[in-house]
Amino acid sequence: MPELPEVETTCRGISPHVSHQKVIKVTVRQPKLRWPVPIELQQLEGQTIKRVYRRAKYCLLESPAGTVIIHLGMSGNLRICDRDIEPEKHDHVDIQFDNGKILRLQDPRRFGCVLWTQKLSQHPLIRDLGPEPLSEVFTAPFLYKKSRSRKVNIKTFIMNAKVVVGVGNIYASESLFMSGINPKTLAGKISLKRYEKLVFAIKTVLSLAIDQGGTTLKDFVNASGQPGYFQQKLSVYGRADQPCLTCKQPIRQITQAQRSTYYCSTCQK
């Protein structure tokens, strides 16, 4: 599933082609995605896209009449096509612009969504989300306060979108390694000083991934539209039984909340 850096790169990749462009046609070939594509999406026709941006793992297209909410699910992608490019089997939704370009959603497994709302802040997918991890709101005191009396492990805690959005499985494991915190530690037992290290690590890991994603922006035009998981050098994720890059002890793998967790029991306490 695309994580925050992949979605951020997607938004940046399509934005130059659709921002400030007028929508002339919306085509829905397959309305049965994760949730049905609403008929109200047709209200986008005739509207000009004011901006394209990301909230959590959602790509948002804002217009004067409302906002399109797009989630890529497990296998979806967005790309920019010329209007004479014929759709393929899994190309489910097209948004055509007056500049001759089409924003096309491809989703083989149909776990993604394309929704429409006139009140974004009140939409069920948006209203309860925590702060963005790269925002000024996301600080060590904020996370420390949120964690008091919490008896959930720290990895599950920072992956909770109501606490902070966009810290997916890969980036949670990497951030905990960078900050030296064992993923099994209870969130409520971590000190403010250690949360300062964790917040710094989360911001650093995500920023590096986004920066590396900038090289894939060309892929959104007449191509796959898939930035993929960035090939940054991962310190622990996916490296079970391999030597830790710091202490050379084997990286351990456990399961937490039905997700694989990777860590070094020597470097992370």
The whole-angstrom separation of Cα 135 and Cα 17 is 26
Check if the beta carbon of residue 235 is closer than 8 Å to that of residue 177. yes
CB of 140 closer than 8 Å to CB of 199? yes
Q: Catalytic: 136?
A: no
Q: Which of 61, 69, 71, 64 is nearest to 6 (CA)?
A: 71
* Rounded CA separation 247/52 (Å): 43
Of 22, 25, 150, 259, catalytic:
259
| Catalytic annotation present for 16 | no
Catalytic residue list contains 36: no
Q: Which of the following is catalytic: 12, 55, 57, 104?
A: 57
The Cα 2–Cα 238 span in angstroms is 16
| Cβ atoms of residues 179 and 197 within 8 Å | yes
Closest CA to 23 of 58, 61, 59, 53: 61
Residues 6+ apart with CB under 8 A from 39: none
Q: Is 194 tagged catalytic?
A: no
Given 3, 6, 8, 174, the catalytic residue:
3
> Which residues are known catalytic residues?
2-3, 57, 259
